[in-house]
Amino acid sequence: MLPDVYSAVAIAEIALAAPLLVRLAVGPSICDRVVALNAVSTQATLTLLFFAAFAQRTIYLDVGLWLSSFSYLGTLIWARYLERGLL
Amino acid sequence: MTAALVIAAAGVGFFFSLSGVVGILRMPDVYCRIQCSSKTITMGALPVLLALVIGEGPFSVYGSRALLVCGLLLVVNPAASHALARAAYKIGIPMWRGAVEDQPKEQWLAEHK
């Protein structure tokens, strides 16, 4: 019962990332694209955690953890670069 | 019982994630989109992660990692959204034409009259 729920949640979350890719492609300014990328990486983190619980593979947990922390760093670096340029 | 709780929490999270995605697609300018994105993460990702914690138990391998990601998102996401909105304002991305308030600009005009 529970593995079915986990797989359903993983598929639903990664399906939600598809419309965000549209915003990532057409976003008029660069900040729109960064916002969409941040949301996509959050959805990917959730999908990875639920897929790890579904497949009983602990290696995917580390992938999800690193993805969440480094997507934050990516957003912050983009914001800093837009605000002050290189350096 | 556990399965029902997991389904309920994941359903709440999925609903808020869906509304946030629709907001990111449909909102008129970048500031509204940033607001929708941070709601997606706070109200959408946390119940989904709580579903994993309920299903596996808070001290199991999966539940403890889910709690860790929960705390990380809670600390980190407002900071990232704030930095992004600040950068968007500083590089001069225009607001929606129906926007009614621009406080930093009014303050600047009052100081440099």
pLDDT in tens, A50-66: 999 999 999 999 999 99
CB neighbours of residue B70 within 10 Å: 18
Alpha helices by DSSP H, chain B: 2-26, 30-39, 46-56, 61-90, 103-111
Share of chain A above pLDDT 90, in %: 63
Distance CA B71, CA A55 (A): 24
Q: Which of residues 62-81 of A touch B (CB under 8 A)?
A: 64-65, 68-69, 72, 75-76, 78-80
ipTM of the complex: 0.86
A46 vs B48: CB contact, 8 Å cut-off?
Answer: yes
The confidence band for B42, taking pLDDT boundaries of 50, 70 and 90, is: confident
Distance CA A40, CA B28 (A): 20
Contacts of B48 in chain A (CB under 8 A): 9, 13, 46, 50
**Looking at beta carbons, which residues of chain B come within 8 Å of A9?**
10, 14, 48, 51
pLDDT tens-digit readout, B47-75: 999 999 999 888 999 999 999 999 999 99
How far apart are alpha carbons B66 and B86 in whole angstroms? 30
